[in-house]
Structure 1
Amino acid sequence: MLITRDGAPVVCTELTPECPIEGTIYGYAPNFAANIAFCAIFGMICLAQFIQMLKWRMWSFGIAVVLGALSEVIGK
């Protein structure tokens, strides 16, 4: 959040000359391509863990790992 000269806070919702990256909540601009790549990697890991869960019949541990990887893919 930026503070103007008169002391009023400005909430930056997009990058403009008046709202540089330093004024955003995170302080940086996330890379969309990297986010897609990591989501695809977690999806593949989720599928691999699901196959291993079925192969080795480790139900309780497998379900926990698959749900964890699936929640990373969903974004929760």
Structure 2
Amino acid sequence: MKQVHVTAFWDAEASVWVAESEDVPGLVTEAEDMDSLMKKLEVLIPELLDENGYPDGDEVPFELNAKITGTAHRMAA
């Protein structure tokens, strides 16, 4: 199977990383940190692909791209 692309963003209000993928129907999950998010994805991706009838395979490679934004403030001179 081709590599699955997953995107994640930081939800500051909920204090969690939210991940989703157009390659895996129904994939939307969240976790408090990246390690936990990776562990969830390792389980959810194959489960959701199986549920959606995608071809079987022993491994499903995936790439996680994360985005976090912030605001920098200038100090008064």
Do Structure 1 and Structure 2 share a fold, with TM-score over 0.5? no
**Which structure has greater strand proportion?**
2
Larger radius of gyration: 1
**Which structure has greater helix proportion?**
1
Higher relative contact order (CA 8 A, sep 6+): 2
